[in-house]
């Protein structure tokens, strides 16, 4: 239950400053309005909508998720955490926090997309929901482990998307095609292979992240 306590601690310190939530919300609004300005009056097709949806998700994640570990290094509290909890517990706590953040962020993005983009109409909702859940978990896990690397590397801000993108690419490519399928109204059975890929990705990333976190965390 220590992981949950760590999550509570992160949540409290987040609610006190609201740094990540505020900057994420503003980032989402800015990114979507840039897309809307560039589209203008043009009606874009489903293919582009599905791609742009994940572009916004990727860059929003990159702007917000590094905080979890970078803030510990900045405040100099990483050593205390090392003393009071096992590495896997620390990772669990941070992972829960990031998963909650990703789910909140992507729900807002999806709602904004549904409201603002004419072509973003989900015909197969169960498929979209499955993609959404599995994709968010994968996104949170990969971003959390890369955030840990970045925090130890001296929190180089520009390096975060550079390191995360190749790791997230299989997830993003499959999620884009799944989102496109759910907009097109393709049946669940036809997309089962893609869903299996995303599920595999999640499982592989979770196990690798837990195995490797020890080496990042302990200097």
Contact set with another protein (CB under 8 A): 142, 145-146, 149, 152-154, 156, 159, 162-163, 165-167, 169-170, 173, 193-194, 197, 201, 204-205, 208-209, 212, 215-216, 219
Q: In angstroms, rounded to a whole number, what is the distance separating the alpha carbons of residues 23 and 25? A: 6
Residues 123 and 183: beta-carbon distance below 8 Å? yes
* Complex with another protein: residue 75 or 156, whichever CB lies closer: 156
On the 0-12 / 13-18 / 19+ scale of CB atoms within 10 A, 149 is middle
Query: In angstroms, what is the minimal distance from the CB of 89 to another protein?
Result: 19
Query: In angstroms, what is the minimal distance from the CB of 22 to another protein?
Result: 28
* Complex with another protein: residue 32 or 50, whichever CB lies closer: 50
Q: Let me know the angle formed at the C-alpha of 217 by 95 and 161, rounded to the nearest 5 degrees.
A: 60
* Complex with another protein: residue 4 or 165, whichever CB lies closer: 165
Q: What is the CA radius of gyration of the chain?
A: 18
* Complex with another protein: residue 9 or 152, whichever CB lies closer: 152
Q: In angstroms, rounded to a whole number, what is the distance separating the alpha carbons of residues 32 and 59? A: 11
Q: Residue 73's closest CA among 46, 50, 94?
A: 94
Query: In angstroms, what is the minimal distance from the CB of 47 to another protein?
Result: 13
- Non-local (6+) Cβ contacts of 208 within 8 A are 145
DSSP 66: T
Query: In angstroms, what is the minimal distance from the CB of 131 to another protein?
Result: 15
**CA distances to 69, 80, 120, 201 from 83, in Å:** 16, 5, 48, 32
* Complex with another protein: residue 76 or 166, whichever CB lies closer: 166
Query: In angstroms, what is the minimal distance from the CB of 81 to another protein?
Result: 18
* Complex with another protein: residue 28 or 197, whichever CB lies closer: 197
Q: Residue 169's closest CA among 127, 206, 138, 130?
A: 138
Query: In angstroms, what is the minimal distance from the CB of 162 to another protein?
Result: 5
């Amino acid at each position: 239950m220590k992981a949950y306590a760590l999550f509570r601690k992160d949540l409290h310190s987040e609610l006190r400053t609201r740094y990540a939530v505020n900057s994420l919300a503003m980032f989402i609004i800015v990114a979507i309005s840039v897309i809307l300005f560039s589209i203008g009056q043009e009606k874009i097709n489903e293919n582009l909508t599905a791609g742009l949806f994940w572009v916004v998700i990727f860059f929003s994640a990159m702007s917000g998720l590094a905080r979890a570990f970078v803030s510990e290094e900045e405040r100099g509290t990483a050593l205390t955490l090392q003393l009071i909890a096992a590495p896997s517990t620390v990772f669990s706590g941070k992972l829960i926090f990031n998963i909650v953040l990703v789910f909140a962020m992507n729900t807002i993005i999806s709602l904004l997309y549904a409201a603002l983009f004419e072509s973003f109409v989900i015909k197969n909702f169960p498929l979209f929901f499955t993609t959404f859940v599995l994709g968010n978990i994968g996104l949170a896990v990969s971003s959390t482990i890369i955030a840990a690397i970045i925090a130890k590397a001296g929190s180089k801000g520009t390096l975060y998307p550079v390191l995360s993108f190749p790791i997230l690419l299989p997830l993003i490519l499959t999620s884009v095609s799944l989102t496109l399928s759910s907009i097109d109204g393709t049946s669940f059975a036809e997309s089962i292979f893609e869903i299996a890929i995303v599920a595999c990705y999640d499982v592989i990333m979770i196990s690798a992240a837990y195995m490797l976190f020890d080496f990042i965390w302990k200097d």
